[in-house]
Structures are given as C-alpha cells and as structure tokens.
Amino acid sequence: MGTDTTRVAESISGEPRDEQASPAAHRRRRRLSLGYLLIAPAMLYLVVFMLIPLYRGVQLSFTDTRLVSPAAGSYVGFDNYQFLLGSARFWNSMTATIIYTGAVVVFSIILGTLTAVLINRPFRLRGGVRAILLFPYATPTVAAALVFVWIYNRSSGVMNETIGLAGLGPVGWLGDPRYGMFSVVFATVWKVFPFVMLVMLAALQSVPDELYEAARVDGADGLSTFRGIVLPHLMPTIRVVALLMTIWSIRRFEIIYLLTGGGPVERTNTLVINIYQQAFQQQRLGMAAAIGMLGVVLSLAVTVGFFVVERRAAAQEAQA
Amino acid sequence: MSTIRRKPGQIVVWVLLALVTLFAAFPIYWMFNTALSLTSELYATGQDLWPHLERLPRIPGSLAAVNALGLLRNSAFIATGTTILSLVMATGAAYALSRFKFHGKGFAGFFLFATQMLPQALLVVPLFALFVTLGLINNLSGLVLAQTAFSMPVATFIMKTAIDKIPYEIEESARVDGCPQLGQLSLIVVPLILPSMAAAAVVTFFDGWNEFLFANTFISSAEKWPASVGLAQFMGQYATPLSTVMATALVFTLPALIFFLIVQRRIISGITAGAVKG
Amino acid sequence: MPRISFDAVSKSFGDTRVIHSFSAEVADNEFLVLLGPSGCGKSTMLRMVAGLTDITSGEIRFDDMRVNELEPRERNVAFVFQSYALYPHMTVRQNIAFPLVMDRFKKIYHLPVVNSIARRLIARQPDVLERVEQVATMLELESFLDRRPGTLSGGQRQRVAVGRALVRDPSLYLLDEPLSNLDAKLRAQMRTEIAELYKEVKKTFIYVTHDQVEAMTMATRIIVLHEGEIRQIGTPEEIYNRPADTFVARFIGSPPMNQIPVSVRDGQATFLGVEDLAKAPAHGLDDGEYLLGIRPERVALADGEEWSIPCEVTWAEFLGAETIIGFQLGYPERDAGKITSSDAETSYLAKLDGTMRLAPGATVHLAFDPAAATWFHRDTGKVAQHPKVQDSVTA
C-alpha cells in the first residue's frame, strides 16, 4: 500500500522519490532552469527598453507633460484622448494612416506577387534579375528618400521630365496636396515590394508540380492556372504577408518624414508622423503618447482581426 | 531559346519583367548618375541618361569635403554594437525557444512578436526620458541600446528557425558523448547555424547602419551623426552640391546591397518561418 | 559490464502511458533485442536506459545501482541513433574522436571560442589519434577519416556512428533501429558486422528493431513489446517455437502463423463453421474455445493422415523453391459454411513445395501434424498448449 501511494504520487509529479537528496537530481533541475537562464537576457532587455518605456508611454498619455520639463507633467485623466477623438486633425491623421497602409499593402502585394510569378521559372540571367529586384529592399531608407526627393523635384526631377514627354505636368509631386500621398505610397511600394516577392517566391516553390501538370492536362491556360491553382495555394502566405505589411506600414516613419514631413496640407500626416510632431515640434509629450497608444490599439486590432480571420479560414480549409 | 515560337503571352511576360526590373533599379542608377553630374547639368532641362564615368575619380574628393568617412564610421559603430549585442542575446533566446520547455515560453514568443508592432516613434518619447536619466543622450552607445531592442527579436526569429531545422538527435548524441547542455549549444548548434547567424548579423547590422529616428532625436552634435542623419541634414539645404549628396548616399547604400545579396535566402527563410508551409 | 534490472519502469507523456510497468533483467554480455511494431514503446525504453528520457516511475539499475537520475555519460553507455546523428560540421575523424575529446574537456574549455580550439587540440593528442585510427581500421573507415559525413554513403555513415559508439569502450551499447535507413543488401551486411562486433567487444547490447529477421539472427534474448507491455521474453527459439500469445505468434515468422478458431470437446477439435468436415486430435486440452496456431510451413497436402480437411485455394504464389497458397476451409460450393470472408488477406496460408502448381478455386485436402500446433485460449489470446515438436528457426 505504502509503495502504491508513492508510485501514484510519483506519476503525478513526474519526479521519482529521493529526488531532493541526490546531486544528480539537482543537476536535472539545473537543466530545466537553464532554459530560463538562456532567454532571460533577451526578455529582461525587452522589459527595460520596450515594456517599461511603453508603460511610461501609457502614463504620459494621461498627463499634460511637455518636452521642456519632462518630469513635471500633471495627471489629466482622459483629457488627451477626449481631445484627440474630438479633433479633426487626429481623424485626418487616422484617415491618412489607413489610406497609406491600405495602398501600400495592396500595391506591394500585387506587385510583389506578380514579380514573383514572373521570375519563378528558369531563364537566362534570372539570378542577376533577382539580385536587381532586391536592390530596393537593401537600400537604406534615408538614401532611398533622398533619391526620391530628387526624382520628384518639381523643376528638374526625372519624374516630371518623363511625364513631360507626354506633354503633361509639371506636377508638384511632394508639394501638391493631390499628389503627396501618391508619391509617398509610390516610394514606399518601391522599397517594400521585393520583400513580398521573396516571400511569395518561397511559397510558389512549395506549389507541388503535380498541380501544374494536372492543370495542363485539363487544358487550362496560364491565367486560369494561376487563378484556380496557384492563387489558392498562395492565399495563406498572402494573408501573413498582408499582416506584416499592415503592421509595418502603420509604424513606418522615416520615408514619410523625409519625403513630405506629413504634408502637403497634412495629407500624409500619419499617426506616427503626428506623434513626432506633437512631441518634438509642439512639445506636447502627453498628447504624443496618447496618439501613440491609439496607434498601438489600431495595430492590435488588425492583428487580432487577422488571427480571427485566419482561424476561420483554416477551419474552412480543414472542412473542404 | 530562339527556336521556341514565342506566343503573345510570353512577350507580355518579358515586357512586364523588364518594366519591374527597371522600376527596381532606376533609383539606384539615378543615385549613381547624379553623383557623376555637375550641378549645372542637373538643373538644366534634359538630363543625361548616361553617367559620366570619367568623373568617377572626383568622388573621393567630394566625399572628403563632407566628412563622409566620419559619418560612415559612426554608422558602423552603431551597426557593430547592435549586431554583437543582438546576436549574443538572440542566440540564447533562440536556443531556449527551440529546445527547452518552460513555463511562459508561449508568452515569450508572443512578446518577441509583439515588439514588431510597437512604433519606434512612440517609444522615442519615453526612451528619451529614460536616456536623459541614464546620461545616454548624445551618445552613440545609447543608440545601440535602443536599436537592439528592435533588432534582437528579428535575429531571434531567424536563428530559432535555423535551430528548429537541426535534428534533435545530433544534440542528444553529443549528450551521450558527454557534452553538457551549453557545450551542445556552442560546439554543435552554433557551428551548424552559422549561415543563418550570418544572415541575422547582416539584418541587425544594417538595422543599426540605417537607423535614423533615434539618432535624429538623441544625437545633437554633428560629429556624432551617423550617415543617415548626416544625409537627411543635406536635404533641403543647398550648400552641398547634389552630386556630393548622392555620392555619399551611394557609399552608404553599397555595403547594404552587397551583404543583403549574399545572405538573401537565409533572411527570408527566417522572417517567413511559419508563413510559408504550403 | 553491468547487469541491468528494470523494476516496474513506466513512462507517461502527459496523460498517455507509453510503457506499462516494465520489469526484466538483462544479464551481462547479453545481446537483447527489443522487438515490436512501431509505436510499441521500444525506442522510449531504450532512451530511458540511455538517460535521454526521464523515467516516470519505477527504477533502472546497473549492477544494483539506481541510475534513474544519471546523465547518459555517467551511465557509460553508447547510443547509435536511427538517423546516425553524426556531427555534420566535423570530419569523420573528429566525429569519432568527439567522445574522447569530451572526456578530457575541463569546465573552462566550454567558454565560447576556447571550446572549438580545445576540441581541435585535444583531437590531435597522440593517444586520441591512435585510438581513432584503431577504431577506423576495425571498421574499414581509414580512407574516409578526413571527409565530412555529408559526403559518405548510408553504410559508411552507419559505420561512423558505430565507430563513435565504440571509441570509448562503453560497457553498454544501445542501438535504435540502426539498419532501418539502409537498403536490403547493405542491411544484411551490416547485420553481420554488428553481430561480429558484439562477439569482439564482449559487452552488453540492447538493440531496438521492428524487424524480426534482425531480432532472430542477432539476439541472445528477445523482449517482444506491444502497446507498452511486455508480451514475451525469451531466446529467439523460444519466441518462435513457444509464443506466449497470439500477438507474438503472428508477429514472429514470415509468413505469419495461421490461427484457426476451433472448439475442443473430448480431446477432439472441430473447425468453426465446418464442424462436420474434419476433427483434429487435441490431446490434453480441456473442453473450450481455442485458436489453433499452425505455421504455414507445417501445413501440407494430405497424404494418408488419419484426418484431413478439404480447402479451397483462394490464391497461389509461385516463389521458385516453394509455393505459397492462401486457402479457406470447406468446399468451394459450400459458401455458407466458410468461416472466413473471401477476402484473400484473411485466407489461411500454407507454404508448399515449389513443384506444386495450384490454381485459385481448386479444392485440396490439407493436413498438419497436431503435435506441431500451438493452442491459444480464444478469449484471452494466451497460450494453452505449446507444440510438442519444435521447429528449428527458419526465419
């Protein structure tokens, strides 16, 4: 009886008796805690340089702290948020974020997927072409912004010279409220579409050859093969890429800041640009933090929404 | 190839491919072309589409005039620091996430992913306050610390994917041979994931190399500017000739182009882990 | 060279129990084979002996010393993995030297960078070099010593794995399906080599496999495992000739033993469904329901025996020296009386002389020596009576 109870206890705890005393058992526990030890530096680092600042940011968003005296803000409750939600400027910023994000996601995925399909077959110089297609992804954002500012230059930029050949323009690509958003999206898509292409290329290579052969036997042409076979196969990847692109677009700063600084007439004043302006130009740290929090809420909402859709899609695919 | 009769569809494919390649390459080419132009040519109508290669020898001189070397040295410092700090922490974290079972592992993974959602622009405000307290304002090491928080999770993903692909028996075999756990990491796992570590190093290096926002906010003295901030300062001020600006941008861009091309495959397999499963 | 005792060893993964109270003794210098279908827990058992998997309850002892908490190295075992698990970044020489290098590793050598230098330096010490050469010569690996595992063939990799196990002269060799990644010809050759190695090193071997041929040819003792439970422990002869239950009987032997449902009354067995056709003698069995186990090679065409049973040939395969036929009890026209379905896989089997040419649908009279039959209780599957004559192992 006594032995039996011990056995039961052992099988519940998963640890044999005499464990406490033996040095070997001590070693085994050390093995387990080694996992914590290995991940602790990374986690602690993120706590110090991300979580605590984030928490500080939440606190700030409930104060009227100003840049000149960062320690001297006083608690104002939800005032900042109330102000923002009633402010046309904030909603303009929200709209700009959504337009920018939506346009970048849609166009980079279309262009990236198209390019992946184009180079997903053997041809001479394929390696060279793919290397060139990666240039934008590797180019430092600041350098890219710099050259685009020059390309967009109203009087001497190559963009206006090109459309001038067709008798159009000149256009103020970065100064005209009608074109500002387009110009920023255009430059961003240039920068990010190679990433989409690389991911899609990897996904395309996982399409089983039998699928193509089956389609050929069925007499499907290129386009209907793509729609009927390749695209459904790519959908899970496209969804993940769309999520990444969305999250990254919501938080993208440099290229917009350097091209338009949020202008013209605040057309490209996304939330992230708005945070920076509030903090370092208007010097209202509290307000900037509140905008940032609403931006994080937007990202979180997208992510949660993604996982809900993803789970539903996965369930449907499992049924089919 | 020429013996194959080309259908109209194929011509469309070639034209599209040419257009996309041109689209991708043109800004870099234009950077190069502009760097070899004279200011008088740039603002005249009808620019030369072909670069004046004979002016290449002038470039070092114009780079020296804007102290491009100093700017690049600062960038290299940030990049190197970020790489070392990120890889040291990411190696342990990736190994733990791949090989150990412990409470809160799922949370740790989520935490790493969640960092991808936080805008730098949001954290720049509280980090500014933190760095004032720590005396890290106007200090390149401070930039390393801030940038590492954003780069290290990405390095962790890349390396975890690589470790996941190593058959676990190899480490068990080492264990039977008398190799302790940390020895398994350094003698077996790390040598086996070296290519992916190189990819992670390239990604984190150029994260640091390209970093702009923190540097622009935290660094006030010009001699500490990295190239990203230095270049942005050229913008909108007309004292520096555009060809010099573009030449600087080009030497700032070239190392990134070269290294990314070398390690591209590994980067993708790491970043898209889980995304592409067919 | 330890004697190994298993005392009620159990293993659960979460709520799933994969090993149920495993108790056995392994004598010194034994070649023990853990045999069973995939998923029977045999690899888990081996890993627990090695110390790679924790034991949920019970105890494993080497010479009366509890080893449950010892690291694999402290148990002085060598382990050959199914996948070989060679170190891809090391040469064959470095692979084989690795256990020796680890023996000489001081704690301080484990610092990053220092460790890879130390590893190379130790591997160049003369006694290490000599021992590696010795092992390589034994396994005929001399000409591959400076190559990486990736450039070797399956059989060569297998030999490197064995070499790595051999180099430290462990007291216990553990081999986890080491031949399953090889093709048939190489497998037969490696089987011989491992058997020779066993004779040469004179140590205890525990060998896991699902292949009965490997088990029968190499083992000094076999433990048959099924769903985490021991079904039988014995020498290859015992396992083959005196199976403890219907599972073992069917698992060992190819083609597998026939198990025909019968009823025994007054020392006479009648075949279920065709009771009126034949009565086989069943001496010494109580009245009851049994499965009559008879190996296909013991079934023959009736030749003046005191009894025989008419059967329908359902299929026939000519294999040269012999002919395998599938059969069902009863006459073809007596469909209703058949006790098996017409599905060929549920037919009974007979291994006949190669000169026999039988077409499906033919009626034959078959008989067998009742003394060669094994009788199982139909409800429990446990053996009721072992055969009175013994086969020699013909696996």
Q: With CB atoms and an 8 Å threshold, state whether A19 touches C56.
A: no
Closest chain C CA to residue B171: C85
Q: Check residues A262 and B172 and name the one with the higher pLDDT.
A: B172
Distance separating alpha carbons of residues C243 and C385, to the nearest angstrom: 10
Q: Which residues of B touch A37 (CB under 8 A)?
A: 92
- Confidence band, pLDDT 50/70/90 cuts, at residue C339: very low
Which chains pack against A, by 3+ Cβ pairs within 8 A? B, C
User: Tens digits of per-residue pLDDT, C90-122?
Assistant: 999 999 999 999 988 877 777 777 888 888 888
Nearest to B269 by CA among A307, A203, C150: A203
Give the strand order in the sheet containing C309-318.
C299-301, C363-368, C309-318, C322-329, C348-353
Closest chain C CA to residue B194: C89
The complex's ipTM works out to 0.86
For A93-319, CATH gives: 1.10.3720.10
List A residues 27-46 in contact with C (Cβ-Cβ < 8 A).
Answer: 27-28
Q: With CB atoms and an 8 Å threshold, state whether A16 touches C71.
A: no
Closest chain C CA to residue B187: C116
* Distance in Å, alpha carbon of B111 to nearest chain C alpha carbon: 27
The three-class DSSP label of residue A104 is helix
List C residues 26-55 in contact with A (Cβ-Cβ < 8 A).
Answer: 54-55
* Distance in Å, alpha carbon of B149 to nearest chain A alpha carbon: 6
Q: With CB atoms and an 8 Å threshold, state whether B118 touches A296.
A: yes
Nearest to A252 by CA among A185, A161, A201, A305: A185
Q: Is B261 exposed, middle or buried (0-12, 13-18, 19+ CB in 10 A)?
A: middle
Q: Which of B95, B176, B188, B189 would best serve as a mutation to test chain C binding (most C beta carbons within 10 A)?
A: B176
The three-class DSSP label of residue B192 is helix
Residue B272, pLDDT > 70, answer: no
Nearest to C10 by CA among C68, C59, C43: C59
Give pLDDT, residue A41.
Answer: 95
CA–CA distances in Å: residue A91 to residues A85, A106, A267: 7, 22, 12
- Tally of residues, chain A: 320
Q: Which of C71, C73, C85 sits opposite B170 (nearest CB)?
A: C85
Give pLDDT, residue C99.
Answer: 93
User: Tens digits of per-residue pLDDT, A50-74?
Assistant: 999 999 999 999 999 888 777 778 8
Q: What is the DSSP string of C176-203?
A: ESTTTTS-HHHHHHHHHHHHHHHHHH--
Distance separating alpha carbons of residues C103 and C341, to the nearest angstrom: 62
CA–CA distances in Å: residue C227 to residues C22, C42, C50: 12, 9, 21
Q: Which of A38, A114, A254 sits opposite B212 (nearest CB)?
A: A254
Q: Check residues A18 and B197 and name the one with the higher pLDDT.
A: B197
Phi, psi torsion values for C377, nearest 5 degrees:
-65, 130
Residues C55-82, mean pLDDT to the nearest whole number: 91
- Confidence band, pLDDT 50/70/90 cuts, at residue B73: very high
Q: With CB atoms and an 8 Å threshold, state whether B178 touches C164.
A: no
Give pLDDT, residue B37.
Answer: 84
Distance separating alpha carbons of residues A124 and B2, to the nearest angstrom: 12
Q: Which of C52, C89, C99 sits opposite B177 (nearest CB)?
A: C99
Closest chain B CA to residue A203: B276
Q: Check residues C236 and A208 and name the one with the higher pLDDT.
A: C236
What is the distance of C-alpha B176 from the center of its chain?
40
- Confidence band, pLDDT 50/70/90 cuts, at residue B202: confident
Residue C52 contacts residue C242 (beta carbons within 8 Å): no
For C4-241, CATH gives: 3.40.50.300
Q: Is C196 exposed, middle or buried (0-12, 13-18, 19+ CB in 10 A)?
A: exposed
The three-class DSSP label of residue B66 is coil
Give pLDDT, residue B276.
Answer: 37
Q: What is the DSSP string of A282-305?
A: S-BHHHHHHHHHHHHHHHHHHHHH
Q: Check residues C181 and B140 and name the one with the higher pLDDT.
A: B140
CA–CA distances in Å: residue B204 to residues B80, B92, B199, C64, C168: 9, 16, 9, 55, 43
Which distant-in-sequence residues (6+ apart) come within 8 Å of C298 by Cβ?
C368, C369, C372, C373, C391
Q: With CB atoms and an 8 Å threshold, state whether B172 touches C79.
A: yes
Closest chain B CA to residue C118: B187
What is the distance of C-alpha A217 from the center of its chain?
40
Q: Which of A5, A6, A11, A26 would best serve as a mutation to test chain C binding (most C beta carbons within 10 A)?
A: A11
Q: With CB atoms and an 8 Å threshold, state whether B246 touches A155.
A: no
Tokens of B108: 């740790």
Q: With CB atoms and an 8 Å threshold, state whether A146 touches B249.
A: yes
Domain layout of chain A by residue ranges: 93-319
Give pLDDT, residue C392.
Answer: 52
Q: Which of A11, A16, A24 sits opposite C70 (nearest CB)?
A: A24
Average pLDDT of chain A to the nearest whole number:
84
Residue B201 contacts residue C98 (beta carbons within 8 Å): no
Give pLDDT, residue A20.
Answer: 41
Q: Which of B182, B191, B192 sits opposite C110 (nearest CB)?
A: B182
- Strands C31-35 and C204-209, bridge-based pairing: parallel
User: Tens digits of per-residue pLDDT, A12-52?
Assistant: 333 343 434 455 555 556 666 888 999 999 999 999 999 99
Which distant-in-sequence residues (6+ apart) come within 8 Å of B275 by Cβ?
A199, A203, A236, A237, A240, A241
Closest chain C CA to residue B186: C112
Task: For tokens 């190189």, name the residue.
Answer: B198
Task: For tokens 């103020």, name the residue.
Answer: A172
Q: Which residues of B touch C72 (CB under 8 A)?
A: 175-176, 178
User: Tens digits of per-residue pLDDT, A222-252?
Assistant: 777 777 888 888 888 888 889 889 988 998 9
Residue at C68: amino acid letter: N
* Distance in Å, alpha carbon of A136 to nearest chain B alpha carbon: 6
For residue C375, the cross-strand partners are C292, C385
List A residues 186-215 in contact with B (Cβ-Cβ < 8 A).
Answer: 190, 194, 198-199, 202-203, 206-208
Q: Which residues of B touch A199 (CB under 8 A)?
A: 268, 271-272, 275-276
Q: Which residues of B touch C52 (CB under 8 A)?
A: 172, 175-176
What is the distance of C-alpha B58 from the center of its chain?
28
Q: Which of C57, C69, C74 sits opposite A10 (nearest CB)?
A: C57
Q: A253 — contact with chain B (CB < 8 Å)? A: yes
Q: Which residues of C touch B92 (CB under 8 A)?
A: none
Residue A291 contacts residue A274 (beta carbons within 8 Å): yes
Closest chain B CA to residue A294: B122
- Classified by CATH at the fold level, domain C255-385 comes out as OB fold (Dihydrolipoamide Acetyltransferase, E2P) (2.40.50)
List B residues 188-227 in contact with A (Cβ-Cβ < 8 A).
Answer: 206, 209-210, 212-213, 217, 227
What is the tally of helices (H) and strands (E) in chain A?
Answer: 15, 0
User: Tens digits of per-residue pLDDT, C195-225?
Assistant: 999 999 999 999 999 999 999 999 999 999 9
Q: Which of A32, A33, A50, A69 would best serve as a mutation to test chain B binding (most B beta carbons within 10 A)?
A: A50
How many residue contacts between B and C have a Cβ separation below 8 Å? 68
Give pLDDT, residue B267.
Answer: 65
Residue A281, pLDDT > 70, answer: yes
The helix-helix angle for B68-99 and B194-210 (nearest 10°) equals 140
Tokens of C180: 């399953």
Give pLDDT, residue C164.
Answer: 93
Tokens of C200: 């040469």
Per cent of chain B over pLDDT 70 is 90
Measured CB to CB, residues of chain C less than 8 Å from chain B are: 50, 52, 71-73, 77-79, 81-83, 85-89, 98-99, 102-103, 105, 110, 112, 115-116, 119, 164, 168
Distance separating alpha carbons of residues B128 and A71, to the nearest angstrom: 12
Distance separating alpha carbons of residues C47 and C176, to the nearest angstrom: 9
Residues B156-161, mean pLDDT to the nearest whole number: 88
Q: Check residues A197 and C331 and name the one with the higher pLDDT.
A: A197
Q: Which residues of C touch A14 (CB under 8 A)?
A: 12, 54, 56
Q: Which residues of B touch C164 (CB under 8 A)?
A: 173, 177
- Confidence band, pLDDT 50/70/90 cuts, at residue B271: low
The three-class DSSP label of residue B271 is helix
- Confidence band, pLDDT 50/70/90 cuts, at residue B224: very high
* Distance in Å, alpha carbon of C249 to nearest chain B alpha carbon: 34
Domain layout of chain C by residue ranges: 4-241, 255-385
Q: A307 — contact with chain B (CB < 8 Å)? A: no
Residues B211-229, mean pLDDT to the nearest whole number: 92
Q: A58 — contact with chain B (CB < 8 Å)? A: no
Q: With CB atoms and an 8 Å threshold, state whether A14 touches C54.
A: yes
Distance separating alpha carbons of residues C46 and A97, to the nearest angstrom: 59
Q: Which residues of C touch B186 (CB under 8 A)?
A: 110, 112, 115-116
Residue B112 contacts residue B157 (beta carbons within 8 Å): yes
Give the strand order in the sheet containing C374-377.
C279-281, C268-271, C258-265, C288-294, C374-377, C383-385
The helix-helix angle for B8-35 and B242-271 (nearest 10°) equals 130
Bond before A170 cis per omega within 30 degrees: yes
Q: With CB atoms and an 8 Å threshold, state whether C88 touches B192.
A: yes
Distance separating alpha carbons of residues C167 and C171, to the nearest angstrom: 12
User: Tens digits of per-residue pLDDT, C250-300?
Assistant: 999 888 899 999 999 988 888 887 777 878 888 888 999 999 999 998 998
Distance separating alpha carbons of residues A83 and B125, to the nearest angstrom: 20
The b-or-e profile of B149-181 (16+ CB within 10 A means b, else e) is bbbbbbbbbbbbbbbeebeebbbbbbbbbbbbb
What residue ranges define each of the domains in chain B, with the CATH number in brackets?
Answer: 64-271 (1.10.3720.10)
Residue C335 contacts residue C274 (beta carbons within 8 Å): no
Tokens of A268: 């490209």
Positive or negative, the Cα torsion across C6, C2, C225, C393?
A: negative
User: Tens digits of per-residue pLDDT, A70-96?
Assistant: 777 889 999 999 999 999 999 999 999
Q: In this structure, how many other beta carbons lie within 10 angstroms of the beta carbon of residue C186?
A: 15
Give pLDDT, residue A11.
Answer: 35
Q: With CB atoms and an 8 Å threshold, state whether C69 touches A7.
A: no
Q: Check residues A54 and B45 and name the one with the higher pLDDT.
A: A54
Residue C269 contacts residue C263 (beta carbons within 8 Å): yes
Give pLDDT, residue C94.
Answer: 93
Give pLDDT, residue C294.
Answer: 92
Which chains pack against C, by 3+ Cβ pairs within 8 A? A, B
User: Tens digits of per-residue pLDDT, A117-132?
Assistant: 888 888 888 888 988 9
Nearest to C298 by CA among C342, C331, C249: C249
C-alpha angle B254-B258-B262 in degrees, rounded to nearest 5:
165
List B residues 48-67 in contact with A (Cβ-Cβ < 8 A).
Answer: none
